[in-house]
Amino acid sequence: MTELVSSPLTARTAQYFSSKTKDRILKTSLVLFNASSFQTVTTAMIAQQAGVLEGTLWYHFPSKKDILAAHIALLQSLFEKQNTRANAVDAATVVHGIFQSYDVIWDFRYILRDDFSVVLKGEPGALLSAQAVNQFLDQWTAGRVMHSNECGLLALPPESIESTAELILLIGRYWLDFSSKKYPDSSQAELRKRGLTHIFNVLEPHLEASAKDLVLELLNR
């Protein structure tokens, strides 16, 4: 399991976790769920990697479902903070905002990737919370495409906005699951970059010139 914990979070997300026991559990479980799945990772595995007793974990989080709820709340909080930049009108701020928002999505990808319909059966509230994250992402993606078109970052005909947003969602969401299976030996940083590259390849023919240059610069960092 040590190998799984070596899959890092982006620096932007990692900074929100302190060295306190509760945060160590949240951070460790997030990395493990991302690397494997919510269903296969046990509380014993999380406790071992976090360096705490399983009883200590249960004190803070009586079940994995409580960890999931905490992750969803943190995802929503971080996404809200990063999303403010994506609402700007200048190309640099919008592009940086989209990259930062994608980092949050990537760091909490198990929530979007895993199927909770079985593991959360009998827990309608928890299941609805997990599903709501996906619904929010659908709306956010459509909104970003429309906003980018309105402020001149993209040049899409109105009738293509919805289909472009759906294509981005298809790539972004299924890349989360496909990437680790297709490239099991690749680093998380490399897989994240590949995912962003695929998304911007869809947008590239429609991107304004300065935005296109900025995207290439950020992808090649």
Q: State the SS3 of 77-91.
A: HHHHHHHCHHHCCCH
φ and ψ at 12, to 5 degrees? -65, -35
pLDDT of residue 45: 97
Who's near 86: CB < 8 A, 6+ residues apart? 94, 97, 98, 100, 101, 144, 147
CA distance 214 to 219: 9
C-alpha pair distances (Å), 147 with each of 86, 142, 143, 151, 156: 9, 9, 6, 6, 11
Please list the helix, strand and coil fractions of the chain in percent, rounded to the nearest 5, in that order.
Answer: 75, 0, 25
φ and ψ at 207, to 5 degrees? -80, 140
Go through the domains of the chain in sequence order and give each one's CATH number. 2-219 (1.10.357.10)
φ and ψ at 154, to 5 degrees? -120, 155
137-152 residues labelled b (16+ CB within 10 A) or e (exposed)? beebbbebbbbbbeee
pLDDT of residue 82: 66
CA distance 49 to 198: 33
For the chain, helix (H) and strand (E) counts, in that order, are: 12, 0
The DSSP code for 9 is P
pLDDT of residue 180: 79
CA distance 198 to 170: 11
CA distance 214 to 220: 10
Q: What is the mean pLDDT of each run of 10 residues along the chain (221 residues)?
A: 59 90 97 93 96 97 93 86 69 81 88 84 78 84 87 89 90 84 86 89 88 86 77
pLDDT of residue 48: 96
pTM of the model: 0.85
Cβ–Cβ < 8 Å for 65, 44: no
pLDDT of residue 213: 87
